[in-house]
Amino acid sequence: MNRYETWFCGTRLWRWMTRRQVLPWVLKGSELGEHVLELGAGPGAATEELAHLAARVTSLEYDHAFAAKLGARVNGSNATAIQGDAATLPFADGTFSSAIAILMLHHLRSHELQDRAFAETWRVLRPGGVFLAFDIRDGWLHRVGHIRSTFVPVAPAGVFARLTNAGFSKVTVDIQRGGFRIRALRAREA
Ligand SMILES: C[S@@+](CC[C@H](N)C(=O)[O-])C[C@H]1O[C@@H](n2cnc3c(N)ncnc32)[C@H](O)[C@@H]1O
């Protein structure tokens, strides 16, 4: 992330927006279940709120410094922060009841890595588990905001095919002014 993103994701404003606007929209109509995987937690704008909503939260973050700082804040509660890569998840199959990625997908450096992260998320979800995401669309403003950072936007129109290929069912995408949300299920076994 560049300095602007690092600053913004750590602000009280973004934490407030995450708690009051982003999470309520992304979670609407879904059950997190007892163990949530948070992908790309960053400074942890969503972490404590998720910890209020589920019995356990595991927050995965690629950046060592963010992971260590978040761990110092939440480890010992019902949340745990660990360093790791969303494209090669360090968890056993079927570990989580849900997974959530807020503003993380466009930080994966290629479409191939994004597809690997989708497949890995499917693998670590239990049958019946739900994957939820919120991300931003391509546009000049976001490109400028990501100078000296990674910005590989996920096109909403391609989400259904990509997540279905990764194994998910009932994939939906909803777009609103600030971004789009994804909901996808790992089907229960027949
Ligand atoms: C824009 S930040 C969003 C952070 C947080 N979800 C929030 O909403 O404030 C994206 C985060 O994804 C993390 N990230 C990037 N690539 C990742 C990967 N391969 N695995 C896990 N996290 C990753 C970045 O280090 C960064 O902290």
The answer on pLDDT for 4 being more than 70 is yes
Pocket lining: 103 vs ligand 1, CB cutoff 6 Å: yes
Pocket lining: 41 vs ligand 1, CB cutoff 6 Å: yes
The answer on pLDDT for 186 being more than 80 is yes
55-70: average pLDDT: 97
Q: What is the DSSP letter of 112?
A: H
The answer on pLDDT for 107 being more than 90 is yes
Pocket lining: 37 vs ligand 1, CB cutoff 6 Å: no
Which residue, by CA, sits nearest to atom 8 of ligand 1? 102
Q: Angle 182-146-173 (CA atoms, 0-180°, nearest 5)?
A: 10
Element (H, E) at 73: helix 64-74
The answer on pLDDT for 102 being more than 80 is yes
Pocket lining: 116 vs ligand 1, CB cutoff 6 Å: no
Determine the Cα–Cα distance for residues 168 and 160; give it in Å rounded to an integer. Answer: 9
Which residue type does 122 have? W
43-58: average pLDDT: 97
Determine the Cα–Cα distance for residues 65 and 94; give it in Å rounded to an integer. Answer: 28
Pocket lining: 85 vs ligand 1, CB cutoff 6 Å: yes
Element (H, E) at 99: strand 96-102
Domain boundaries of the chain, sorted by first residue: 3-185
**Token pair in block for residue 86:** 């969303």
Residues 135-157 pLDDT 10s: 999 888 888 888 888 899 999 99
Pocket lining: 44 vs ligand 1, CB cutoff 6 Å: no
pLDDT band at 190 (very low <50, low <70, confident <90, very high): low
> CATH number of 3-185: 3.30.1180.20, 1.10.10.10, 3.40.50.12500, 3.40.50.150?
3.40.50.150
Beta bridge partners of 11: none
Can you tell me which atom of ligand 1 is nearest the CA of 5? Answer: 1
Please state the pTM of the whole predicted model: 0.96
91-120: average pLDDT: 98
Selection from 151, 150, 152, 153 nearest residue 179 by Cα: 153
| pLDDT at 45 (0 to 100) | 96
| Mean pLDDT estimate for the chain | 95
Residues 6-36 pLDDT 10s: 888 999 999 999 999 999 999 999 999 999 9
Choose one of 22, 107, 151 to mutate for the ligand 1 pocket test, by most ligand atoms within 8 angstroms of C-beta: 107
Task: Map tokens 């019946």 to a residue.
Answer: 128
Ligand 1 centroid vs 44 CA: distance in angstroms?
Answer: 10
DSSP string, 148-182: TS---PPPHHHHHHHHHHTT-EEEEEEEETTEEEE
* Inter-residue contact 168 to 133 (CB < 8 Å): no
Pocket lining: 107 vs ligand 1, CB cutoff 6 Å: yes
